[in-house]
Amino acid sequence: MILAILKAQWLSMRLRVGTRRAGAVFSSITSVAFYGFWAFLAWMVMLFFSQPEQTEYFVDGLSSGLLFVMLYWQLAPIVSASFGASLDLKKLLSYPIPHGKLFTVEVMLRIFTCGEMLLLVLGAMTGILRNPHYGGKNAVFALGGALIFSLTNILLSAGNRNFLERVFLRSKLREVLVLLIVIISLTPQFLAYSGIKKAVLLKFVPSNIFWPWASSAHYMLGDQALVASGVAFIYFVIAYAYSRWQFQRSLRYDGAVIQRRERSAPDAPEGFAEKIFRIPGMLFPDPIGALCEKELRTLARVPRFRMVYAMSCFFGIVLYLPQMRRPHHDGFFYQNALPIISLYGLLMLGQISYWNAFGFDRTAAQGYFSWPVKFRDALIAKNLVTALLMVPQVVLTSLCAKAANLPFSAGKVVESVVVILIASMYWFALGNICSVRLPRAMDPDKMNQMSNKMQALSIWAAPFLLLPIGLAYWARSVMHNELIFAGILLLAAIIGAIFYYIGLDSAVTTASERREKFITELSQGSSPLSIT
C-alpha cells in the first residue's frame, strides 16, 4: 500500500505528453537548476568539514548550520504558503488502510517538501567522514547524528503541516498565526541589534548541547556522544509523539462543520468593509466595475489570499534586517529599500492572483463564456483588483520601513506606488497568458496547493520583466538626475502598456480557442494525493 501511493507520487511528477510536455520540461529544467544550487552549497559544506585544520570551528559551525537547516525546514513551507505533497485524508478514510500506514506515507511525503536540506546534511556528514581527524572511526556517530536529525525534522514538518491545515480553516486564527510567524522570524535579528549584553545572549548560543540542532551536531562529531545522543533521541521521541498526535487529530477533524458554524453567524450591518468592496464600482464603469467588486469580495473570503497578502506586507522587511546593523546609507539597495520591498510583495501575490487568475473561480469560470460580459473584461478586472490591493500594501510596507529606520519619505511612497503599477503591467501580461494556458483549480480553504511551475517562472522571469525599471534606477544612480529617471520610467510605462495589450490579446485568443480544455482543467477536483 505504501509503495503504491509513493508510486502515484512519482508518476504525477514525471513528464507528460501532449500540451503539458512543455510545462513539464520547463519544470524539470528549473528543478535541476534549483537543486543544483543546493548541491553546490552541499559540496562547499563538504569541503569545509573535510579540512582537518578547521576542526576547532566544527562544533560551532555545524551547530549553527543545523540551526539554519531546521529553521528553513520548518518555516520555508509556511513562508511560501506551500506545504508540498500531502495526503487528502478525508478521501482515503473510506479505504481499508490502517491509520499507521497512512501516517507512514504522510511522513515519507515530507521528504519532498525540503529535500534540499537533506543535501546540506549529507554534505556535512560526508565532509566529516572524509576528514582525517575523524574518518571511519567516527562513521557511527556521523551517520547516527545525521539520521536522527533528519528524522526529527521530517516528523516535526509532518506534525506542523497537519496542525496548520486545521488552523487555517478557522478564520479567527489565521491572521494571528501569521503575526506570530513574523514575530518569531524577526526576534533573533532584533535581539542581535538590541542593547542586550553579549553575556546574556551567549547562554543561548546555538552550540549549547541541549538544543535539538546542537545535540545532533555534537553527536555527529563524537563530542560528548553519550549526552548528545540522549538529548537528540528525546527530541526525536517528542517530534514523533507530536506528529502522530496531530495526524490523529486531523483524521477526526471536520473543517466543514467549523466553517458552517462561522458562516452561520448573523450578518453584521453594513460597515467599513462593505464600503471598501464598493470602491471599484465607483472608479470603473460596468461591467468592469461590477467584476472588480465581485473579485474583491471573493479574494477577501479566501483564507490563502488573506494570509499571503498579510505576509507580503511585512515579510519584505526581513530582506533588510542584516543591513540594519551596519547600514550603508549611500548604497543602492539601502536607498531604494521601499521600492524593492514592495516589488517583493508583488511577487509573493503572483502565486494566488495573476499567475493563475481563475484558480479560485474553478467551475464558475465557465460563466465568463456565457454571461453577457467579455472575457477580456474579466481579465482586466482581475488585474485591476490586484493592482489596487498593492496600494495599501505599499502603505503598510512603508510603515514597516519607517519603523526599521529605512529611507522613508512621501516621495519614496509615491515612487514605490508608481514603480509597482508599472511592474504590474509586465507581470500581468505574462500572468494572463499563463492563466489561460496553465489553469489550475485551487481550493480556497487549503494551504497545501502551490504550483512549483509558477514559483520557478517567477524567479526566472523577474530579471527580464523588471529590466526597464532596473535601467531607470541605474540611470539615476549614474547620472544623479531625477528628470532622466522619470523619463525612463515613463518610457517603461509606455512599453509596459504595449506589452500588456499584446499579452491580453494573446490570452483572450487562447481562451477562445481552448475554451473546453480551459474549463475542464478548472473543473478537475483534487485526487487523494495532492501534489503542490
pLDDT tens for each residue of 6-31: 565 555 555 444 445 555 565 667 77
How far, CA to CA in Å, does 276 sit from each of 64, 265, 267, 298, 388?
A: 47, 21, 17, 13, 11
DSSP element (H, E) containing 39 = helix 21-49
Contact criterion met (CB below 8 Å) for 79 and 73: no
**Amino acid sitting at position 342:** S
DSSP element (H, E) containing 163 = helix 139-167
Contact criterion met (CB below 8 Å) for 295 and 385: yes
- Coil, strand or helix at 199: helix
How far, CA to CA in Å, does 83 sit from each of 11, 40, 271?
A: 19, 24, 35
Q: Give the CA-trace dihedral at 408, 409, 414, 420, to 10 degrees.
A: -10
**Amino acid sitting at position 240:** Y
Contact criterion met (CB below 8 Å) for 311 and 79: yes
pLDDT at 170: 62
| Count of other CB atoms within 10 angstroms of residue 132 | 9
Contact criterion met (CB below 8 Å) for 357 and 299: no
Contact criterion met (CB below 8 Å) for 461 and 430: yes
Banded model confidence at residue 503, pLDDT cuts 50, 70, 90 = very high
Q: Measured on CA atoms in the order 389, 462, 115, 205, is the torsion positive or negative?
A: negative
Contact criterion met (CB below 8 Å) for 105 and 192: no
- pLDDT of 236-293, one tens digit each? 999 999 998 888 887 776 554 444 444 444 444 456 678 888 888 888 888 888 899 8
- pLDDT of 370-425, one tens digit each? 888 889 999 999 999 999 998 888 888 888 777 777 777 888 889 999 999 999 99
Q: Terminus-to-terminus CA distance in the chain, angstroms?
A: 22
What are the grid coordinates assigned to 96, written together? 481499508
E strands in 168-326: none
- pLDDT of 285-343, one tens digit each? 888 888 998 888 888 888 778 877 877 877 777 666 655 555 566 677 778 888 888 88
CA proximity to 102, closest of 206, 313, 274, 251:
251
CA distance 441 to 458: 19
